[in-house]
């Protein structure tokens, strides 16, 4: 096997210049050792005006802290809990983009990267390494950045799919910090009912996409008696892993990547990371491929299952924000909505609890001022709460309102009905389901 020269993290980041835009590998696989080295340079007054780009990251995020104002500036494509407060206080920022197009920001030159800082697995005998749990838009970053630095970490699983050659990098750094793991709360009775309402729309042999968290885990639990499911999803966690171990997921009916589990990034327990290590049944691919609506649509019975922060009475779906407050990001929701509805037998679902933890209705007369529309009403199909499910496709504005009110929390329906009457006028009372 070829011998490689390794350097310290401090030496690897020494060539980063003030004003550079920097890509970080994301989620569970953030190269914290390189970030810490940049913090030391910042404290020494050696750099300023560095812009950071990435999907949601786990762990400390000093590049968003007010302490480094004018030195670091966070411009993430998806906002996680570690930077949410700073983004909403203006010390950091959110760059809206569909995740499938995040790689295009780099490849098109819309963002000119000064550096790509990523974590990779130990190389194989040919010097090829895996980006492990975080392929996302890192392939594009490595292709286009002026400076390319890889942290070679034995804890990064070697996942098949899109690999990188260690020869591509200007600097290699050794580190053995474990990847961040995440345990998600067990589903509540409400989440289990929502999962059941979703699962009843999923036929045997379908191909599924869903995110991570208690609600997707609840849905996974309700799919345990299904047969021959496939997986093509931007991310997955322990809920999907349980289905795989039960033999529910076989991918036998997929038309592309048959028998393979396809994803672009992961967050979950160590069991998930160990599962993808040297597993030929898993392909971790460039987000350009995974989130391409045309690719998604090739598999029949594609089930896209996403969530929302609010849905208004006409079917406008907000998912990245709560009013002006950025909560997460556009993500790949619309990528998969578009792909699923073009799939033969495909279904797009938006599932959420009817009320917030504060008891406020998530089905609302109007989205809060400043809220972002992630899925336009023309793309809204099945909307699902614990009180049922309705299909908005082919329905008029007033019909949509009537349907959505029927699955709102019972204590909110009178308020919503009154709001609909005020909006639509006298004819509202003649609308029937």
End-to-end Cα, the chain, rounded Å: 68
Q: Tell me the three state secondary structure of residue 161.
A: strand
Alpha helices in 246-383 (DSSP H): 270-276, 287-290, 293-297, 333-342
Pairing of strands 317-318, 310-312: antiparallel
- Predicted pLDDT at 214: 81
Q: Which position among 74, 234, 310, 386 bears the catalytic label?
A: 234
Give the closest residue to 211 by CA, choosing from 276, 138, 291, 274.
291
Burial (CB < 10 A; 0-12, 13-18, 19+), residue 136, is buried
Please state the φ and ψ torsions of residue 379, each to the nearest 5 degrees.
-105, 0
Residue 310 known to be catalytic: no
Other CB atoms closer than 10 Å to residue 358's CB: what's the count? 5
**23-57: b or e for each residue (b if 16 or more CB lie within 10 Å)?**
bbbbbbbbbbbbbebbbebbeeeebeebbbbbbbb
Q: Which two tokens stand for residue 428?
A: 């509202």
> Would you give per-residue pLDDT tens digits along the chain (433 residues)?
678 899 999 999 999 999 999 999 999 999 999 999 999 999 999 999 999 999 999 999 999 999 999 999 999 999 999 999 999 999 999 999 999 999 999 999 999 999 999 999 999 999 999 999 999 999 999 999 999 999 999 999 999 999 999 999 999 999 999 999 998 778 899 999 999 999 999 999 999 999 877 888 889 899 999 999 999 999 999 999 999 999 999 999 999 999 999 999 999 999 999 999 999 999 999 999 999 999 999 999 999 999 999 999 999 999 999 999 999 999 999 999 999 999 999 999 999 999 999 999 999 999 999 999 999 999 999 999 999 999 999 999 999 999 999 999 999 999 999 999 999 998 888 888 8
Task: Compute CA 38 distance to the chain's CA centroid, rounded to the nearest angstrom.
Answer: 27
The span from the CA of 396 to the CA of 381, in Å, is 12
Please name the residue that has the structure tokens 């995110």: 211
Q: How many residues does the chain have?
A: 433
Neighbours of 161 (CB within 10 A): 21
pLDDT at 1: 67
Cα distance between residue 309 and residue 191, in whole Å: 15
* CA-based nearest residue to 337, from 397, 296, 308, 286: 296
| R_g (Cα) of the chain, nearest Å | 22
Strand ranges in 59-131 using DSSP code E only, listed in sequence order: 72-76, 93-94, 113-120, 128-130
Alpha helices in 173-228 (DSSP H): 189-199, 214-222
CA angle 331, 333, 336 (to 5 degrees): 125
CA 321 to CA 373: how far, in whole Å?
A: 9
Nearest residue to 49 (alpha-carbon basis) of 95, 94, 18, 86:
18
Backbone phi and psi for residue 399, each to the nearest 5 degrees, phi listed first: -65, -40
How many helical (H) and strand (E) elements, i.e. helices and strands, does the chain have?
Answer: 14, 24
In the numeric block, which tokens belong to residue 165?
Answer: 């050659």
Determine the pLDDT at residue 103. 98
What per-residue confidence (pLDDT) applies to 3? Answer: 84
Return the structure tokens found at 351: 């599932």
Cβ 219 vs Cβ 195: under 8 Å:
yes
């Amino acid at each position: 096997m070829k011998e490689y020269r390794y350097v310290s993290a401090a030496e690897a980041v020494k060539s980063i210049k003030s004003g550079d835009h920097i890509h970080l590998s994301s989620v569970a696989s953030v190269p914290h050792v390189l970030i810490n080295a940049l913090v030391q340079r910042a404290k020494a007054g050696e750099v300023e005006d560095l812009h950071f780009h990435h999907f949601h990251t786990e762990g400390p995020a000093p590049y968003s802290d007010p302490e480094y104002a004018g030195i670091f500036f966070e411009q993430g494509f998806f906002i996680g809990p570690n930077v949410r407060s700073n983004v909403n206080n203006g010390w950091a920022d959110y760059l809206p983009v569909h995740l499938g197009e995040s790689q295009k920001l780099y490849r098109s030159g819309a963002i000119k990267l000064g550096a790509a800082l990523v974590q990779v697995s130990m190389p194989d005998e040919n010097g090829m390494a895996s980006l492990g749990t975080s392929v996302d838009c890192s392939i594009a970053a490595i292709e286009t950045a002026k400076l390319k630095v890889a942290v070679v970490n034995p804890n990064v699983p070697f996942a098949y799919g899109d690999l990188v050659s260690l020869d591509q990098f200007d600097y290699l750094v050794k580190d053995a910090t474990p990847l961040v793991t995440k345990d998600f709360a067990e589903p509540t009775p409400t989440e289990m009912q929502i999962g059941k309402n979703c699962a009843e729309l999923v036929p045997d042999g379908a191909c599924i996409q869903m995110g991570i968290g208690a609600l997707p885990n609840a849905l996974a639990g309700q799919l345990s008696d299904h047969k021959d499911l496939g997986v093509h999803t931007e991310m997955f966690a322990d809920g999907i892993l349980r289905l795989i171990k039960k033999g529910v997921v076989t991918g036998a009916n997929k038309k592309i990547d048959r028998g393979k589990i396809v994803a672009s990034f992961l967050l979950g327990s160590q069991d998930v990371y160990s599962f993808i290590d040297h597993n030929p049944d898993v392909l971790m691919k460039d987000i350009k491929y995974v989130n391409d609506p045309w690719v998604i649509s090739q598999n029949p019975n594609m089930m896209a299952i996403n969530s929302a922060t609010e849905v208004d009475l006409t079917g406008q779906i907000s998912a990245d924000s709560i009013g002006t407050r950025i909560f997460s990001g556009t993500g790949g929701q619309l990528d998969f909505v578009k792909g699923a509805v073009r799939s033969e037998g495909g279904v797009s679902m938006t599932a959420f609890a009817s009320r917030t933890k504060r008891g406020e209705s998530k089905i609302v007369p109007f989205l809060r001022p400043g809220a972002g529309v992630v899925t336009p009403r023309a793309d809204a199909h099945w909307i699902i709460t614990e009180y049922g499910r309705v299909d908005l496709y082919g329905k008029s504005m007033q019909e949509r309102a009537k349907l959505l009110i029927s699955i709102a929390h019972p204590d909110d329906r009178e308020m919503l009905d009154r709001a609909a009457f005020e909006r639509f006028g006298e004819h509202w009372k003649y609308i029937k389901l």
